[in-house]
């Protein structure tokens, strides 16, 4: 690297900063749009709509952090933090780049990441800040149909922190990795073998399996690339029955991967082949939004047929199947309304969402509504 010797140290500092932000097409993390993590709205005992969202808005994602707080991302109402007593709502006024939040992640340092319809934000407990991906490393797109209203260049559908600490982001124009300092675009790496010419658009879920493989669930068209695996060298797509729309993935306690598909219900993948999960026809015919394997190894499935077909055709399904007893597959529909998101908390409660910002907790006995 060429060294520059100037009389005024400040000029050297400026040159160094310019170099660091442009070198190799990468971008160093920024801390723009910072604000104190003190919500502009008063905390409430129930989740309240304050941003004028419509009846189709839902709680789209959630997590429980190391301190026990529950976080819920929504389609148009920002993020809610629940401390066991009150819901605190964070919106664009508090530092979010968008009130539409599709994904949440707590990293190993305890920071909370927000994947929004307008990029990535992060909270360190004191501030919410924007973490931009430089446009210099984004692909040049000439096809006007590449981006859609639901998947713009800045949309962040999914996030994962792998065992090494690297964070993966599924965005509207591909998958990016962040090492704590710089972003890189996975498919811009010439060493990655991409035999299926994948674009990795609309990756709705990312998972690292026990062997270190990174799996991508491709979502809505025009993504529709199926179930994709990156083994550190090659990325390839699997599309049994030509199913290109995978909603999400979980790794079962028996080592198999469970997939929520758009058209064929739940699939299981044992590393060699895909098979249909033993499930009711009503579940297979529905539109699966999420699956969850709880701590006991039981499966939970969220489905939705859409309002035009009748909300009650969807619901929350529960299987008492044990990963150690794969022949026991008894499904029960325990909630008879469309369900979009599922989360199990540390006390084994099941949280789930419905249309119009409905939020419920199921303690395995009764349902409690936590939204107005």
Q: How far is CA 268 from the centre of its chain?
A: 20
List 249's β-bridge partners, or say none. Answer: 259
Nearest to 215, CA basis, from 277, 156, 271: 271
Write the DSSP symbol of residue 171.
E
pTM of the predicted model, to two decimals?
0.86
Cα–Cα distance measured from residue 235 to residue 113, given in angstroms and rounded to the nearest whole number: 26
pLDDT for residue 45? 97
Nearest to 119, CA basis, from 148, 156, 77, 76: 156
Cα–Cα distance measured from residue 55 to residue 49, given in angstroms and rounded to the nearest whole number: 11
List strands edge to edge, sheet with 203-208. Answer: 193-194, 234-238, 227-230, 214-218, 203-208
Residue 171 burial (10 A CB sphere; 0-12, 13-18, 19+): buried
Its sign, for the CA torsion 251, 290, 120, 69, is negative
Cα end-to-end distance, the chain, whole Å: 60
- Pair of tokens at residue 74: 């929504």
pLDDT for residue 300? 95
Cα–Cα distance measured from residue 367 to residue 361, given in angstroms and rounded to the nearest whole number: 6
pLDDT tens for the chain, 372 residues long, are 333 333 434 334 333 433 333 333 344 444 444 445 789 999 999 999 999 999 989 999 999 999 999 999 999 999 999 999 999 999 999 999 999 999 999 999 999 999 999 999 999 999 999 999 998 999 888 887 777 777 788 999 999 999 999 999 999 889 999 999 999 999 999 999 999 999 998 899 999 999 999 999 987 777 899 999 999 999 999 999 999 999 999 999 989 999 999 889 999 999 999 999 888 887 787 788 999 999 988 899 998 875 555 555 688 999 875 555 555 567 888 998 899 999 999 999 999 999 999 999 999 999 999 998
Cα–Cα distance measured from residue 302 to residue 58, given in angstroms and rounded to the nearest whole number: 13
Query: Strand (E) positions, 92-213?
Result: 101-106, 112-116, 119-123, 127-130, 156-161, 167-171, 174-178, 183-185, 193-194, 203-208
Cα–Cα distance measured from residue 229 to residue 208, given in angstroms and rounded to the nearest whole number: 10
Write the DSSP symbol of residue 168.
E
Cβ neighbours of 336 (radius 10 Å): 12
């Amino acid at each position: 690297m060429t060294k520059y010797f100037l009389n005024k140290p400040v000029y050297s500092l400026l040159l160094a900063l310019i170099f660091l932000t442009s070198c190799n097409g990468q971008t160093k993390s920024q801390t723009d749009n910072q604000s104190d993590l003190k919500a502009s709205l008063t905390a409430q005992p129930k989740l309240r709509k304050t941003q004028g969202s419509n009846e189709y808005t839902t709680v789209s994602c959630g997590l429980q952090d190391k301190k026990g707080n529950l976080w819920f991302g929504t389609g148009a109402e920002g993020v809610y933090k629940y401390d066991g007593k009150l819901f605190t709502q964070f919106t664009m006024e508090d530092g979010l780049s968008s009130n539409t939040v599709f994904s949440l992640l707590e990293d190993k340092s305890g920071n909370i990441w927000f994947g929004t319809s307008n990029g990535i934000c992060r909270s360190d407990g004191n501030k919410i800040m924007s973490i931009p991906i430089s446009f210099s490393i984004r692909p040049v797109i000439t096809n006007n149909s590449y981006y859609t209203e639901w998947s713009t260049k800045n949309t962040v559908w999914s996030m994962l922190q792998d065992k090494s600490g690297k964070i993966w982001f599924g965005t509207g124009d591909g998958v990016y990795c962040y090492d704590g300092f710089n972003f890189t675009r996975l498919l811009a790496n010439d060493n990655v073998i991409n035999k299926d010419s994948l674009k990795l658009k609309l990756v709705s879920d990312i998972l690292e399996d026990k062997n270190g493989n990174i799996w991508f669930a491709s979502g809505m068209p025009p993504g529709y690339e199926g179930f994709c695996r990156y083994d550190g060298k090659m990325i390839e797509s699997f599309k049994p029955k030509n199913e290109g729309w995978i909603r999400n993935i979980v790794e079962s306690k028996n080592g198999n991967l469970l997939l929520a598909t758009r058209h064929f219900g739940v699939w299981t993948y044992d590393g060699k082949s895909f098979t249909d999960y033993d499930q009711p026809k009503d579940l297979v015919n529905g539109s699966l939004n999420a699956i969850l394997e709880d701590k006991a190894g039981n499966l939970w499935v969220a489905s939705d047929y859409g309002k035009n077909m009748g909300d009650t055709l969807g619901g929350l399904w529960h299987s008492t199947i044990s990963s150690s007893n794969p022949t026991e597959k008894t499904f029960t529909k325990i909630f008879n309304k469309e369900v979009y998101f599922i989360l199990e908390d540390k006390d084994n409660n099941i949280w789930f969402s419905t249309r119009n910002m409905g939020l419920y907790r199921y303690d395995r006995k009764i349902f409690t509504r936590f939204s107005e």
